[in-house]
Amino acid sequence: MKSHVKTIVCTLFVAVFAIASLATAQDKAKEYAVWKSLAERTASEASKVLKRVPSRSKALVLTNAGCAVVDGHSTEPSLDGLQSWKGASAGKGTLLDVHSARNSALWFLFHDMGTGDAVYFEVNGKALEPLLSRLPQLSRKTIRSRVFALRAKELFARIDHENIGAKAVFADPAAWNQKAKAGVFGGHAFALVTIANAVSHGASCDVIRAALFHDHYCPGVTSGVILANYLESRFPAGPGGRYFIQAVDPWCKEDALLELLNSTPGKRGYAAYYPSDADKARRLPEAAKAATIAYRQQTRGGAWDGVVLAFDWPDTGCAKAGGGIAEKLCTDLWFLKRMDKPEDFVKVVKSFELPKGTSPLDWARPGVDPLEKLGLLQPPAAEKAQ
């Protein structure tokens, strides 16, 4: 009798568990339908706003879908919906997700790389609330038709239509700086103009990856890509080897190095300090421009050696471009043609080997300055006076 009751209880438990799992799967599928349909709806809106719909090879979509979280909802399914716009694809580099904080508004940019025409949509999360609160009662088909039935004015907090091609930006730099100041593209004007132009000017996959992680494409992140290129060609860690990167003058380059070398602080592969002007004034003249120390261990457990690197900023002639976005974009495009010549910009301040038994972590401890260890600082004033 007892075993009979046990069997009934077990069967009931399995049935309840199966029903709960089915409900969860259905809820997930309906959530997916909301955010995928939203992107499809926005893509069809973009085709109405743009002067003409670009060919597949000229269509580019940028978004922060997947990063932005709207009222606790993941926006990742929108990435699939965006593929409906001229076959935009992550694999072809025509659907790019730009890094942003989870609390950022969700946005999409549709761009014709042929004409420079672009339209930006910022989603009003509130417009989706009535739909999201009734998902159990709605079918996926109904969800899609409800998303498509929403008025554009309700669904989008902002729609901006601009020509972002380099030609248009260089033709009127002052107007672009004014637009950026006024918050066009939700304050992402610099980020979107530079990333879109990097793609349309043929930037390589790693340049784009660094720019996406950094959330904009600037000369600073370019210098990081060039430093990574230099390390891989002139100071290779080799298969199975690893780097430890230490920024002694951090700027945008750090994000490119993190992304491309995968030497991250969380994995004990990266450190940085921010020197003051007084700290920099202590550096010997040859180390005045020291920016990054790269340590290398070619075999696990083996010895570490390193290089102190400086980055020489060339005169690109872009100072005449009109400042702001135009000047930065001009510099970005200038560098884009020279990414494979890292030795033209990267200078070795000092090469060294770490003492046996010492790891880069020992030189990244609080109060330890690796430049002092390397004899690249002037002695403190008190010592000088003696």
Q: In the bound complex, what is the minimum distance in angstroms from residue 172's beta carbon to Zn ion?
A: 23
Residue closer to Zn ion, measured from CB, 250 or 275? 250
Nearer to Zn ion, 30 or 328 (CB): 328
Helices (H), 235-323: 253-261, 277-281
Q: Name the residue nearer to Zn ion (CB basis): 40 or 215.
A: 215
Kind of pairing between the strands at 242-247 and 73-74: unpaired
Shortest Å, Cβ 214 to Zn ion: 6
Q: Which CB atom, from 155 or from 252, has the smaller least distance to Zn ion?
A: 252
Tell me how crowded residue 333 is: count the other CB atoms within 10 A of its CB. Answer: 19
Tokens of 291: 């920016």
User: At CA 150, angle to CA 145 and CA 151, rounded to 5?
Assistant: 145
What token pair was written down for 58? 């000229």
Separation in Å, CA 89 to CA 15, 32, 79, 353: 41, 18, 9, 45
**Residue with structure tokens 């008190």?**
382
Contact between 138 and 131 under an 8 Å Cβ cutoff? The reply is yes
Nearer to Zn ion (CB atom), residue 220 or residue 306: 220
Bridge partners, residue 247, by sequence: 272, 292
Shortest reach from residue 169's CB to Zn ion, in Å: 17
Determine how many CB atoms are found less than 10 A away from the CB of residue 365: 8
How many Cα atoms sit within 13 Å of 303 on the Cβ side? 7
Nearest approach in angstroms of CB 132 to Zn ion is 35
- State how far the Cα of 271 lies from the Cα of 254, in Å rounded to an integer: 10
CB of 198 to Zn ion, least distance (A): 13
Residue 248 CB, shortest distance to Zn ion, in Å, is 18
- Three-class SS of residue 199? helix
- Which residue number places its CB atom closest to Zn ion? 252
CB 205, min distance to Zn ion, A: 19
CB of 283 to Zn ion, least distance (A): 24
Nearer to Zn ion, 251 or 352 (CB): 251
CA distances from 152 to 42, 123, 286 (A): 9, 10, 59
List residues binding Zn ion (CB under 5 A): 218, 220, 252
Give the residue with the Cβ less far from Zn ion, 90 or 101: 101
For Zn ion, give the closer residue by CB, 220 or 322. 220
Which amino acid is present at 185? Answer: F
Residue 95's DSSP bridge partners are 61
Task: Find tokens 């005449």 and name the residue.
Answer: 320
